[in-house]
Structure 1
Amino acid sequence: MKLKALLASAVFAFAAATGVAVAQDYPSKPVNYIIPFNAGGESDIAARLQQPVWEKITGKPLVIQYMAGAGGAQAWSQLNGLEADGYTIMGTNLPHIILQPMAQNVGYKTDDISNVYFFQYTPDAIIVPKNSQFKTLKDLIDYAKANPGIVTVSGSGTNSANDVAQTRFDKLAGVTTTYIPFSGTSPSTAAVLGGQVMAGFSYTTAAITQGDAMRVLAVAADKRVPSFPDVPTFKELGYDMVGGAYRGVAVPKSTPEEVKKQLSDVLDKINHDPDFIKKMEDGGFVVINVPYDQVPDFMAKRKAEYEAAAKDMGIAKK
């Protein structure tokens, strides 16, 4: 019995040293969830919807914090310097973490970010004011073909999902529009409503809040979004365009593998909670399930897509 006790003690000490013990009862204390943007945006809204379900499943608090700056790069450049025990997690966004390091030195490389789960995306949507001359996507395309460069299109920043969407749209539709970047989704949408631009690439989440003031011409999703059942997808209209801002959760790279898997499992349970799914869909989000073991393939596919778009956008690969 004494020998068994000594062996058990040795195994426990080894497990604690390697991080396995942490994983066995993960989480056993509050987890800090860092959002790399300001409060109120899509990343924050999604995290706030995750929070109560996390606490219901784990019985532990999920504490949401903010580290905004440089389009998320300020936080992502510091991620690997944070404690790697699974109790500090961070939101990540695509295409940001792929395009930012390609465009310039932002303090991190794409491969520095250890994503453990991707849980949703907000489909790109092309929007116009309700009184716009463009009643359909065909109206906009026909006008853009007849007037190259005249159609101005707002979006939430340079090298963002909206920037990628405008570039892909122009190529697929055979038109030339002029992209006007703004500092975020809100000012970009305001520019459409105020007539500063003729159209905008935004997200379904932002379009919902505008009600009857705005018309959505098409959404970049595989199928129609429940919150916009009457709006066709680009694919329905003949343009193979699916995408938007994908959001996931990452941890410092040196976090033990077992902890990464445990965190992925918790996030997967949240993503299958019926009430969570309904609230996300009502808000214009599309729920996707990409657990830890599927992240490498998911990232490889996204990288190939964004690197192709980057060439058209004039971004030199670093």
Structure 2
Amino acid sequence: MNLSKFAKSLVAATFLSGAVAAPAVAETDFSGQTIEWVIPFSETGGSAKWANFFAPLLSEALPGNPTVVVKFMPGAGSTKGANWFQSQEHEDGTLLFGTSGSTQFPYLLGDPRVRYEYSDWNPVMATGTGGVAYLNAEDGKKFDGSANGLKGIDFIYGSQGATRLDLVPLLAWKMLGMNVEPVFGIKGRGDGRLMFERGEATIDYQTSSGYLGASVDLVAAGTAVPMMSWGALDDDGNIVRDPTFPDIPTFKEVCEATEGCATSGEAWDAWKAFFVAGFPSQKIAFLPAGTPQEVIDTYVKAFEAVRARPDFKTLAAKQVGKYPMFVGAGAARATKDATTVSPEAKAFVLDWLEQDYGVSLN
């Protein structure tokens, strides 16, 4: 699927989702029950903020107004939690699981630790997101919209792993000619931000919810300088400025202003393919295998009600950003597009990972 069709199909699927939102049979009643929404990351990152934002809204929308509790199962860059969820079967509709691009990328790359299969799960909601990279105050003074003044600096970056969503910033910095040394092994992007705050890292990136939740305070305090966002897709599949951060240049803009960085060719095509897989439908909520259609339809209808709230866009803009929310058929299409990249993009990234980080997944 080309990028133009990708963007347009998600918009179309958003409208189509309304056609399947009405339950086929009577709604499931969750009165007096507790729903566990499991997130395979630490409680400090963007996925935690995403789930914590939606949890009370979902509670209000589900029949019986159950308590929705967000629980965390970090480890192995989210593959630990995803492998656990793969083994779960439907019991009563009280288990929900949330993934992000850091769960999708190991699946896309054939990471041997992956024992989960997305097609076995039931997506009920998906949202897009963005990301912002930022520098420490001292090095930020050398940023002029290009990376030309940053090429002689040795940066330290707290990373979950090169095969996770961190692939997007790591490859971007590589294309800009920057020397960024990742310290692998953190459990979530929030832990990377804490490293930056303590001075143990000198460059960082957060997804939109994480950036809005904490990193903007660092910028306001003068201890962090925004460098670039990853951008967003327009209807023709072109990268444009992120609607949540319209004043921050995109990686494409910074690349075009930097000597030796090209927005065409194998590296660019691979970066863009994984950006598309990781961000326009970056966070997805699933019900486990075997969930009856009645329960799936009840969740779809509830998330549709959340999206239809008159105050939803205002609330979302402040906490998770200005991005599309896909429900039902839209969530299914978003999941498919988020777990598909071309063989050429995959081959390029696998070769880069082995050359730069000694990571072999073959």
Give TM-score scaled by structure 2 length. 0.67
Residue 250 of structure 1 and its aligned partner are, at CA, apart by: 0.7
Question: 2 CA distance for matches of 1:115 and 1:155?
Answer: 30
For the structure 1 residues 111 and 57, does the alpha-carbon distance in structure 2 shift closer, same or farther, using more than 3 Å as the test?
A: closer
Please point out which of 135, 148, 153 is paired with 2:143. Answer: 135
For the structure 1 residues 153 and 64, does the alpha-carbon distance in structure 2 shift closer, same or farther, using more than 3 Å as the test?
A: same
Q: Is the 1:153–1:197 Cα contact (8 Å) retained in structure 2?
A: yes
Q: Given the alignment of the two structures, is residue 69 of structure 1 paired with residue 92 of structure 2, yes or no?
A: no
Please point out which of 161, 167, 170 is paired with 1:166. Answer: 170
Please point out which of 318, 321, 329 is paired with 1:293. Answer: 329
| Cα offsets for 1:131-150 (capped at 9, x unmatched) | 32433340x24532xx4xx5
Question: 1 CA distance for matches of 2:294 and 2:166?
Answer: 36
Q: Is the 1:102–1:316 Cα contact (8 Å) retained in structure 2?
A: no
For the structure 1 residues 167 and 153, does the alpha-carbon distance in structure 2 shift closer, same or farther, using more than 3 Å as the test?
A: farther
What is the aligned partner in structure 1 of residue 247 from structure 2? 230
2:65 is aligned with what amino acid?
K
Q: Given the alignment of the two structures, is residue 312 of structure 1 paired with residue 314 of structure 2, yes or no?
A: no
Question: 1 CA distance for matches of 2:351 and 2:295?
Answer: 37
Equivalent residue of 2:166, what SS?
helix
Q: Is the 1:118–1:295 Cα contact (8 Å) retained in structure 2?
A: yes
For the structure 1 residues 151 and 249, does the alpha-carbon distance in structure 2 shift closer, same or farther, using more than 3 Å as the test?
A: same
Question: 1 CA distance for matches of 2:197 and 2:81?
Answer: 32
Equivalent residue of 1:208, what SS?
helix
Q: Is the 1:37–1:68 Cα contact (8 Å) retained in structure 2?
A: yes
Percent identical among aligned pairs is 15
1:259 is aligned with what amino acid?
V
Question: 2 CA distance for matches of 1:34 and 1:178?
Answer: 31
Q: Given the alignment of the two structures, is residue 152 of structure 1 paired with residue 155 of structure 2, yes or no?
A: yes
Gaps of 5+ in 1: 1-20
| Cα offsets for 1:168-205 (capped at 9, x unmatched) | 4424x465643333513234224434544442233343
Give TM-score scaled by structure 1 length. 0.75
1:49 is aligned with what amino acid?
F
Length, aligned pairs only: 292
The aligned runs of 1:147-226 (5 Å cut-off) are: 147=152, 150-158=153-161, 159-171=163-175, 173=176, 177-181=180-184, 183=186, 184-204=188-208, 205-206=210-211, 207-210=215-218, 211-212=220-221, 213-222=223-232, 223-225=240-242
Equivalent residue of 2:226, what SS?
strand
What is the aligned partner in structure 2 of residue 256 from structure 1? 292
For the structure 1 residues 195 and 72, does the alpha-carbon distance in structure 2 shift closer, same or farther, using more than 3 Å as the test?
A: closer
Question: 2 CA distance for matches of 1:273 and 1:141?
Answer: 46
Q: Given the alignment of the two structures, is residue 107 of structure 1 paired with residue 107 of structure 2, yes or no?
A: no
Residue 313 of structure 1 and its aligned partner are, at CA, apart by: 2.4
Residue 284 of structure 1 and its aligned partner are, at CA, apart by: 4.9
For the structure 1 residues 90 and 216, does the alpha-carbon distance in structure 2 shift closer, same or farther, using more than 3 Å as the test?
A: same
Equivalent residue of 1:95, what SS?
helix
For the aligned residue pairs, the C-alpha RMSD in angstroms reads 3.3
Question: 2 CA distance for matches of 1:112 and 1:98?
Answer: 17
Equivalent residue of 2:78, what SS?
helix
Equivalent residue of 1:24, what SS?
coil
For the structure 1 residues 274 and 218, does the alpha-carbon distance in structure 2 shift closer, same or farther, using more than 3 Å as the test?
A: farther
Return the index of the structure with the highest Cα Rg: 1
For the structure 1 residues 218 and 196, does the alpha-carbon distance in structure 2 shift closer, same or farther, using more than 3 Å as the test?
A: same
2:353 is aligned with what amino acid?
M
| Cα offsets for 1:115-135 (capped at 9, x unmatched) | 2321242x2221101232433
Question: 2 CA distance for matches of 1:38 and 1:143?
Answer: 31
2:181 is aligned with what amino acid?
T
Deviates more, 1:126-135 or 1:76-85: 76-85
Deviates more, 1:211-220 or 1:31-40: 31-40
Question: 1 CA distance for matches of 2:320 and 2:30?
Answer: 33
Residue 208 of structure 1 and its aligned partner are, at CA, apart by: 1.9
Q: Is the 1:227–1:283 Cα contact (8 Å) retained in structure 2?
A: no
Residue 214 of structure 1 and its aligned partner are, at CA, apart by: 0.9
Q: Given the alignment of the two structures, is residue 275 of structure 1 paired with residue 311 of structure 2, yes or no?
A: yes
Residue 300 of structure 1 and its aligned partner are, at CA, apart by: 3.8
Please point out which of 14, 24, 27 is paired with 1:25. Answer: 27
Q: Which has the higher contact order (CA 8 A, sep 6+)?
A: 2
What is the aligned partner in structure 1 of residue 101 from structure 2? 94
